[in-house]
Amino acid sequence: MSKVIEVKDLCKTYVVNKKQNNVLRNVNFSIDEGEMVAIMGPSGSGKSTLLYTVSGMDRMTAGSVSFCGKELSDLSDNEMADVRLDDMGFIFQQMYMMKNLSILDNILLPAVKSGRRHESMGETEKRGRALMKKLGIEETADNDINEVSGGQLQRACICRSMINSPKVIFADEPTGALNRTASDEVMCEMVKLNSEGTTVMLVTHDAKVAAKCSRVLYIVDGNIKGEYKLGKYNNADELRDRERKLNNWLMEMGW
């Protein structure tokens, strides 16, 4: 199985008031094609910084991140922006969408902006509507973003993240702003996408969310302190046992 992401000796340092803050310290890990990997750790451990740096949203201070064979530190800002647009999908806790666009138009926006688009607008819209139908929100296509529930809006964000058929989806606390029912619905869709071959790297503080991933990386003080392999998640019947085992391991790690 090919490696989609390979991280070697990754460091990220911020300078605040002339003082260095070493947020990431010599981080090493890799993610294989088709994996769904969760990043967990205490508050301030560097989880989100790791996701932003690996995805090129933030520049690394030192080290190496290979994304589908491309060394991200070698790319210009414009080249990095193209990689993020064409090969990566993003889902955040805060569901950022354009207020002046409908739900469907928000979903289509990355495809319209992509330099790889070799299809008519009608074909792009057809793909967008197909994604909405797949995630059960096709009836919200013409709604404004304030006319749908939080769960529906996050599923629309998943549709948007998938519109350019990304190689990897990066998700930062994708269920953090949702109630348990909406969280379960969103994670069900994430698991489906992963089962169809999409690689996922997500940050979460929720063991129930992480228990649906194939592997969990635990970060403390900017470094990976351990990993727990759960294997592929198949059905809800095994979730309680996976969550129990994961919680036991997290307690051993000092969670």
> Which CATH number fits the domain that encloses residue 189?
3.40.50.300
pLDDT of residue 114: 85
Tell me how many domains the chain contains: 1
* Cβ atoms within 10 Å of 182's Cβ, excluding its own: 18
pLDDT for 171 beyond 90: yes
Look at residue 138 and tell me if it is in a domain: no
- Residue pair 154/91 in contact by the 8 Å Cβ criterion: yes
Q: What mean pLDDT is predicted for residues 84-94?
A: 91
Main-chain dihedrals φ then ψ at residue 13, nearest 5 degrees: -125, 130
Residue 230 pLDDT greater than 80, yes or no: yes
DSSP E strand stretches across 33-80: 36-40, 62-67, 70-71
Q: What are phi and psi of 15, to 5 degrees?
A: -110, 115
Q: Give the pLDDT of residue 115.
A: 62
Q: Is residue 148 part of a domain?
A: no
Closest C-alpha among 47, 41, 35 to residue 5 = 35
Q: Is residue 153 included in any domain, yes or no?
A: no
Residue 221 lies in a domain: yes
Mean pLDDT of the region 143-150: 94
Supply the pLDDT for residue 113: 87
With 0-12 / 13-18 / 19 or more C-beta atoms within 10 angstroms meaning exposed / middle / buried, residue 187 is: buried
In a domain, 62, yes or no: yes
Q: 124, 117 in Cβ contact below 8 A? A: yes
For residues 226-251, average pLDDT: 94
pLDDT for 98-141, tens place per residue? Answer: 999 999 999 999 999 886 567 788 999 999 999 999 889 999 99
Q: With 90 as the cut, is the pLDDT of residue 48 above it? A: yes
The predicted model gives 180-198 an average pLDDT of: 89
Residues 6+ away with beta carbon under 8 Å from 146: 99
- pLDDT computed for residue 117 by the predictor: 62
* Average pLDDT of the segment spanning 171-182: 87
Rounded average pLDDT over 183-212: 92
